[in-house]
Amino acid sequence: MFTKLLIANRGEIACRVIRTARRLGIATVAVYSDADRHALHVQLADEAVHVGPAPARESYLVIANIIEAARRSGAQAIHPGYGFLSENADFARACAEAGVVFVGPPPAAIEAMGSKSAAKAIMERAGVPLVPGYHGDDQKPARLKASADEMGYPVLLKATAGGGGKGMRQVWSAADFDDALAAAQREASASFGDERMLVEKYLTRPRHVEVQVFCDSHGEGVYLAERDCSLQRRHQKVIEEAPAPGMSAELRAAMGETAVQAARAIDYVGAGTVEFLLDEDGSFYFMEMNTRLQVEHPVTEMITGQDLVEWQLRVAAGEPLPLKQDAITLHGHAFEARIYAEDPDNDFLPATGTLAHLRPPEESSHVRVDTGVREGDEISVYYDPMIAKLVVWDEDRGRALQRLARALVDYRIGGTVTNLDFLYNLVTTKPFRNAELDTGFIERHRELIFREQDIDLARDLPAAALALLLQRQQTARGSRQPGDPWSPWDSASAWRLNEPHRHRLRLHCHQQDFEAVVEARGKDHYVVSARVSAATTDDERAEQRQGATDGVDVVASEALQARLSGETLTLDRDGHRQRATLARTQDGHTLYFAEGACHFREWQPDTGEGGHDASAGGLLAPMNGTIVALVADVGAPVTAGSPLLIMEAMKMEHTLRAPADGSVEQFFFQAGDLVSGGAELLQFTPAGEENRESAHA
């Protein structure tokens, strides 16, 4: 076994590999870009080497820089993680030429599976069942379209060098084919430098089931059960589980043996994942083989009790597989939920931001959190916006699912939009509980998953008002000057001679403005009244404050006890005690209850100094990114919803569309330009308007 290992990756991936290496007594070397100088994986490693600027193509993807980092540090082996260079045959060869062990399969195996079309040809010769499709070398658009027409719609376009959902499009009719092909080729070229496509028949209700295989250099190969990865958005997985629900022992053995057969067909060594489409009738088809460890490997670890990174290291060191096939046993059920900084309500648009508040659930034998970030870290535009992988295990699927739902409630993140509510809604739907799984699950059950969160103003408003007030008092006590502790002038309790101790607060909560009155009645005892604020000027608000508080616009009024200790707010309502966690974020505060979160901020009066008019201005970049293409002609009329510009950010393409009928008067950037979030991208003139006006994306 080697004594020093370099991890050619970042974030959660690097942290995961470091954890196993440290347990085995192997020293670790991290690599980092400018953006990751203070990242968690850099802190955890024994050494760290700088490899370039923030963009991955100038740092983590530069083979020469990684090899030089291994040489400088004296690392004997390189673990590529999953992603980046993990499936790059040239990198594997460069490691061998430098005398460094590549923790992965031989270059020839990577190349064999690196092209989806070539892989399918190999699998066909090996007798592995394939989905009907075209995998040929003729890449003329007319030939690809003719293949789709022959097999019938819907079809799936896939980049031959693809992965992670990049360069992939569903096509439902011949009329949509040309546009879908152009978009898929453009995305494939940007992601892989290769725009070649294959066309497959699209199965309407398949499950995505993958098998974990392992082979050593002594000719042995095994499979470690399977994972169901059917729940996907943008062709990327969001929930995975193992074992796959409803699998008979016979079907598991058939898929597992087929997966090992596929690996042996290319003389595979190391960890690999063979992905299948499982149809409703029980038939399964080879889809692709990933020549690396998968993001979702922890669910397999949880049900087998094996550390798959340790297996990788031992196999790379020339050792035989730790277990034979008949010694691999399964126990219990596991789920993995991928927690992202993204907006599910806006087509899962990736988000940036600072993790101002980060409290994962407590880890145990049932709960595991794989992450590469800490509180205060920034979600960068340069990399995938994953925050963590939440993994749970229990004796059976029902119990594991219950643990997953609870862990999602306990996971608290402030400072950026996340998919936590989306994940909770998804895993608590009846169809998911019943394991009615297929790759179209999310779209099919949108109404159940994207349901509105129940709003409890009677709970939230008093809690928000008291949290804000008690935090103010807590801050004041911490900053007051030494003096007479009994002086009323040194008190933050709103003391007034012969008057109630009353505070007036203005809150913005649940998309509305409220005015709250908090009256202190002894230690820890308060009466809170809150009313909707319809006033728009200071004079109107003054009149409103003088009015009665028992009108029809009062939405909360109750007496309760409250204490704030650190971040924990304790509320006692007539003997019913509840706790919430208070977090400060960049734009306000969040109270985390067991039933959900309440976001609020102190409402400031309108001074008339508004910023950019929401109904005017330029069409803005939703985040930092790169302009991919300008798809509208300057001066040419366009209709509302027509694509104007395509930009790439956080490994995804985003199309900005016309907000109304009109025309583009001027583009401010060209293809290839880097743009900052909020930058004005173009000047748009609505139809029929002489004066230039703009609209937001």
Residues tagged active-site: 292
The whole-angstrom separation of Cα 200 and Cα 195 is 16
The token duo for 149 is 């027409």
The whole-angstrom separation of Cα 215 and Cα 265 is 12
C-alpha distances (whole Å) from 115 to each of 95, 197, 212, 691 are 21, 10, 20, 52
> Which distant-in-sequence residues (6+ apart) come within 8 Å of 152 by Cβ?
201
CB 361 within 8 A of CB 34: no
The whole-angstrom separation of Cα 559 and Cα 536 is 29
The whole-angstrom separation of Cα 549 and Cα 329 is 66
Please, which residues bridge with residue 212 across strands? 273
CB 653 within 8 A of CB 210: no
Please, which residues bridge with residue 573 across strands? 576
The whole-angstrom separation of Cα 349 and Cα 653 is 10
C-alpha distances (whole Å) from 384 to each of 340, 351, 581 are 9, 10, 28
DSSP string of 544-557, one letter each residue: HHHS-SSSTTEEEE
Ramachandran angles phi, psi of 524, nearest 5°: 70, 5
CB 341 within 8 A of CB 380: no
Ramachandran angles phi, psi of 193, nearest 5°: 70, 25
